[in-house]
Amino acid sequence: MIAIAIDDEPIALDVVKSHASKVPFINLSASFTNAFSAIQYLQANQVDLIFLDIKMPDISGIDFFNSLSHKPMVIFTTAYSEHAITGFELNAVDYLLKPFSLSRFLKACNKALDLYQFRSSTSHAHTPTSIFIKDGYEQVKVNLSDILYIEASGNYTRLVLTSNKTLSTRLPFNDMLNSMPLNSFVRIHRTYAVARDRITKFDKYQVWLGTQPLPVGQTYSQSLQTLIL
């Protein structure tokens, strides 16, 4: 994966550069202490991942990321833990609290690799019929027609299959849902999305997949009929 790092503190930037040099699948192609120089670079070069400090002079990392028309994956780095919630609201791959160790950095990079591979597996065909999910050290092929529902479960996303088997992945729930074919899954709750063609009945409180009921979130209840029918 091609990555860049942005941090106004040279010492912090050196830490990212040192850690990245030890991760074989990360190609740190450039680093910047000035966010506006990074904008010019991003306009001329394709980048898969940004290591981005949040608290910088002139423009915050969050404002910088929001300004990008094409948003690569992002791992936020900062010394201030109060920014974590905002970082995850932007669907950040991860959030690194300074000072972070090489092992913690590697964990964040592995999450980015999982997402990168997942997006690659769903981009080869205009309407994909299957995806690859990392299960331990293996990539497992899953037919989309075999998925009953998708569930956000802590730091993981869970796939529940028609065979009653479940798979867990570190991919963010929203990223997985957004990569699915249009209208194939219906969001019914903050933590649930169900396969549209597996729905057997519903009301404003629950959706049934055969005999399996799932709750409908209040936010989604009003528009449920429009979403499903």
pLDDT digits (tens, 9 = 90+) for 72-127: 999 999 887 665 545 545 678 888 999 999 999 999 999 899 888 877 766 555 56
Q: Can you give the residue range of the structural domain that contains 180?
A: 127-228
Residues 22 and 82 occupy one common structural domain:
yes
Q: What is the pLDDT of residue 12?
A: 94
Q: What is the pLDDT of residue 48?
A: 94
Q: What is the pLDDT of residue 21?
A: 96
Please state the rounded mean pLDDT for residues 178-192.
85
CATH, residue 81: 3.40.50.2300
**Domain end among 69, 97, 121:** 121
**Domain end among 86, 121, 156:** 121
CATH, residue 183: 2.40.50.1020
Residues 139 and 104 occupy one common structural domain:
no
**Domain end among 121, 150, 184:** 121
Q: What is the pLDDT of residue 126?
A: 55
Q: What is the pLDDT of residue 117?
A: 81
- Name the pLDDT band for 140 (thresholds 50, 70, 90): confident
Query: For the chain, what is the domain count?
Result: 2
pLDDT over 90, % of the chain: 45
Please state the rounded mean pLDDT for residues 129-152.
84
- 186 bridge partner residues: 194
Q: What is the pLDDT of residue 53?
A: 93
Q: What is the mean pLDDT of the chain?
A: 86
Q: pLDDT at residue 166 above 70?
A: yes
Residues 117 and 144 occupy one common structural domain:
no
Q: What pLDDT, in 10s, does the model give residues 2-34? A: 999 999 999 999 999 999 999 999 999 999 999
